[in-house]
Amino acid sequence: MKARKVVLVDAIRTAFGRAGEKGIFWNTRADDMVVKVIRELMRRNPQVKPEMVDENAWGVFCQEKDQGLTLGRTSVILAGLPETTAGYSIDRMCAGGMSAITTAASEIALGACDVAIAGGVEHMGHHPMGATADPNPRFLTDRLVDESAMSMGATAENLHDMFPEISKEMADEYSLICQQKADAAIKSGKIGEMIVPMTVYTKDGWVVADKDEQPRPNTTPEGLAQLRTPFRVMGKVTAGNSSGLNDGAAGCLLMTKDKAEELGIQPKMELKAFAYAGVKPEIMGIGPIPATKKALQVADIKFEDIGLVELNEAFAVQAVAFMNEFGLTFPDDPRMNIYGGAIAFGHPLASSGVRLACHLMHAFAARPEVKYGITTMCVGLGQGGTVVWKNLRRNGEKAEKAEKKEKHEAEKKDEKKEKKKG
């Protein structure tokens, strides 16, 4: 059986709030955020009738309380999808949403379903990371993992040790640019296009949550330099060069390419390949590097073919290490996180993998000459995940030139092969 082509036709998210009592989503349930995203995806794509949605996959790290009871299935019922729509929850810590996408896409590729919703949610205000977890004591007593593996900030300090050439000043410089890119994208209205407004109840009464709370547009080099280093005395990791603790949900609509054509929908991008890789838990931030190499090998393309990179910045040091590995220009490569990343927008764990896909979808529209892009992220306890996407909205003079160049290079390769045979 030949795998079917899987396309993403739309992606949307809630605003990302700050976790805790002062955050805009403090009195809002996580499953209600999921329902809002599902309903918005259906509203924006009226060609897709509710009965067409075969599967509803949701990534969530803390699967308890308002994030428990198999959220993928309960949100089917809450959102008003028909009882024939199946659903499940999936956990790969930070990459839960990314795993929801790749798992649902695998179902589509193998013919198990034609249309699926995939998303991720995390309410870190209600569910602090790992608060109710009970790690096996053998992790530490038998030294199966380094003690620092249990603290994400400590793993970032370990990366600074691993790459001493990446200074705190470099991490701060990268973070400043991230905030500046995000501010420009917000002011241009680009980020607003990605957010579904949601009416929520707060201490000030009912308000509309339609803006991210995490961005700090007034960030300065001086301010970043003065922040304390909570994970190590005289360390390099601060709140300014790390992602925040946040609440939010993001979702996307996936289907076969044939189904999109049948419904008259213009798909935005095609999932070409994906891969996950394991690394030492104490240096989990390095995970995107082997995952990207593996995914590119599966896709049979080179990194030089990648025109856009959406990397989840759990920590600046992890992003800079990735840039150095793949030859991206520090501190501001035109391919890298063009709207800013998690240092500015926040990282509500399982939702971030889908937020990356949403950003890339819009970036592809802004850069129609680009053929391939990737979404990639590190994962707690030592993993990385990468998805390779193809831009399905290529047009314009730049795209035509790129197509001609690719065709010419392919013809030259074929000629060389023929000469070798001869």
Does residue 415 form part of some domain?
A: no
Contact 195, 211 (CB under 8 A): yes
Does position 111 have pLDDT exceeding 90, yes or no?
yes
Does residue 87 form part of some domain?
A: yes
Task: Determine what percent of the chain is predicted with pLDDT higher than 70.
Answer: 94
pLDDT at 1: 80
Does residue 224 form part of some domain?
A: yes
pLDDT at 130: 87
Q: Which residues of 202-213 are buried (b: 16+ CB within 10 A; e: fewer)?
A: beeeeeebeebb
Contact 120, 97 (CB under 8 A): yes
pLDDT tens, residue by residue, 379-393: 999 999 999 999 999
Reported as a pLDDT band with limits 50, 70 and 90, residue 422 is low
Contact 353, 101 (CB under 8 A): yes
pLDDT at 358: 98
| CA nearest neighbour of 42 among 209, 253, 260 | 253
pLDDT at 28: 98
Does position 72 have pLDDT exceeding 70, yes or no?
yes
pLDDT tens, residue by residue, 298-355: 999 999 999 999 999 999 999 999 999 999 999 999 999 999 999 999 999 999 999 9
* Number of structural domains the chain divides into: 1
Does residue 141 form part of some domain?
A: no
> Could you list the active site residues?
94, 347, 378
Does position 397 have pLDDT exceeding 70, yes or no?
no
Reported as a pLDDT band with limits 50, 70 and 90, residue 395 is confident
| CA nearest neighbour of 56 among 43, 39, 14, 64 | 39
Residue 359 structural domain: 6-128+147-391
Displacement of CA 387 from its chain's centroid (Å) = 9
Q: What is the mean pLDDT of residues 70-76?
A: 98
pLDDT at 406: 67
Model pTM score = 0.94
Does residue 50 form part of some domain?
A: yes
Does residue 422 form part of some domain?
A: no
Q: What is the mean pLDDT of residues 277-299?
A: 98
Does residue 136 form part of some domain?
A: no
d(CA 51, CA 54): 7
pLDDT tens, residue by residue, 159-188: 999 999 999 999 999 999 999 999 999 999
pLDDT tens, residue by residue, 224-234: 999 999 999 99
Query: Which letter does DSSP use for residue 281 in this model?
Result: G
User: Domain containing 103 — which CATH number?
Assistant: 3.40.47.10
d(CA 62, CA 65): 9
Q: What is the mean pLDDT of residues 276-291?
A: 98
pLDDT at 318: 98
Does residue 138 form part of some domain?
A: no
Q: What is the mean pLDDT of residues 397-417?
A: 67
Amino acid in position 285: G
pLDDT tens, residue by residue, 82-110: 999 999 999 999 999 999 999 999 999 99
